[in-house]
Structure 1
């Protein structure tokens, strides 16, 4: 009865309302706005989606930015019964999103080669979000920034894929395997999804921005 006292009735037709946007109703934009508002202030306010990368690459990076990837630490937080929370690549530290992509020995080697390959200052990351901002170090124009940003996401995907192969396929992943894979995947997507249709594999392997 106490609950019903605060209910006011009217002759209007019943309607469903989306709590965060009563004026326009439910939308993906309003959901994104709501999720962004609840994120910690340490995260960047927006994630830039890349149209010429597969959607699974974007979703992986987006989830990494929100610390929503199923790393071992995150699984343990959800009370999933797992034998260990140590990083599966080296078993040296707990596997968090930030550790796997920024401070794991494999990731450090990947980003070191990435920096030399792209002819940019040596990349040192502390959080996953730092990877998504690394393209800002490029001073060669917007097109170069876009390519570096996309290559960073591809590298993250290859690290995540290598981690999963180690766990589920018992196939030990090395930094050299990841490096070869992100170079080849990057070449395929840039060549087939951008205006850079005539890039050459040999030149790409030396420097991915040679055609700009």
Structure 2
């Protein structure tokens, strides 16, 4: 719905931006689908997330498809909810890395984004779900 204030959306709303190009690899227009799915950075992050969660490679072309992907995962309902949380956390971490790149001039890396996803999602899942006895080791191995 173009509610994420990407550079392309801001420019469309007549808000001055220096460029509408994605800040990670400068390879396409920065819109939600590109930033969260199609950019090389996002694509590599999703490959790592899929591998970590022991699911087929995550590939989607629109954010809407990404946000319902957990429903088709070969897991029990509790683990599907965990995957949903991981997907949302990953989107947040990609957005956060984008903002750090633009506003703080910090370089982002796939490894940093993955580490942020694992840490933030672990804290969220451990403290806000029935998995409160989850250990960091089990979380990192995605075996719970």
TM-score bucket (shorter structure): over 0.9
Deviation readout 1:152-183 (Å, 9 max, x if unpaired): 00000000000000011000111111000000
- The answer as to 2:60 corresponding to 1:97 is no
- Measured against aligned partners, the alpha-carbon deviations of 1:171-198 in whole angstroms (never above 9, x if no partner) come to 0111111000000001101111112111
Map of 2:112 onto structure 1 = 177
In the TM superposition, what whole-angstrom CA distance separates every residue of 1:71-117 from its partner, at most 9, and x where no partner exists?
01001101111111100111111101100001001100110011111
Unaligned runs of 5+ in 2: none
Contact 1:88–1:166 (8 Å) recurs in 2: yes
2:40 equivalent to 1:130: no
Question: Does residue 1:149 correspond to 2:50, yes or no?
Answer: no
| Partner residue of 1:88 out of 23, 26, 49 | 23
Q: Kindly report structure 1 stretches of 4+ aligned residues shifted beyond 6 Å.
A: none
Cα distance in structure 1, aligned partners of 2:77 and 2:138: 21
**Contiguous gaps of at least 5 residues in structure 1:** 1-65
- The TM-score with structure 1 as length reference comes to 0.66
Per-residue CA shift, 1:24-62, capped at 9, x if unaligned? xxxxxxxxxxxxxxxxxxxxxxxxxxxxxxxxxxxxxxx
Shift of 1:139: 2.3
Aligned counterpart, 2:130: 195
Say which one has the larger Rg. Answer: 1
The alignment's TM-score, normalised by the length of structure 2, stands at 0.96
**Structure number with higher helix proportion:** 2
CA RMSD between the two structures: 0.9
Match of residue 13, structure 2, among 78, 81, 105: 78
Displacement of 1:146:
0.8
> 1:120·1:137 contact (CA, 8 Å) conserved in 2?
no
Residue of structure 2 aligned with 1:186, choices 85, 103, 121 = 121
Aligned length: 144
